[in-house]
Amino acid sequence: MEIWINPACSKCRSALTLLDAEGADYTVRRYLEDVPSEDEIRQVLVRLGLEPWDITRTQEPVAKELGVKEWARDESSRDRWVKALAEHPKLIQRPIITAEDGTAVVGRTDEAVQDALSRKS
């Protein structure tokens, strides 16, 4: 299990507290420092069952600068979104937890973190 976090994020800190309370075995990835590649982002999107626009923080200043809210949300635009996430990791929704069964969740609530913990291989 791996969790992508921004240490300044309260939702990330809450997720870590819950994982620790449950005695979970996990690896922390500070994704703003250890930036995921485009391929890693594509892999996590498959695990999440989501599209890149689903995990984009559209209220971030860089999102507004790029104008992502106006970008098309279709198959032909997917690479543009993934590239933006790789080049501007602050745009990635957090925390993302990869579960043991090969899936992943965006752990913004205690319920989502519990869901990730329950996904055993």
Catalytic residue annotation: 9
Lookup result for tokens 């790029």: 66
Q: Cβ atoms within 10 A of the Cβ of 14, count?
A: 16
Asked if residue 61 has a cis previous peptide bond (ω within 30° of 0), the answer is: no
Angle at the Cα of 42 (from 37 to 48), degrees rounded to 5?
A: 125
Which H or E run includes 100?
A: none
**From CA 26, how far away is CA 86, in angstroms rounded?**
23
98-119 b/e (C-beta count within 10 Å ≥ 16 → b) = bbeeeebbbbbeeebbeebbeb
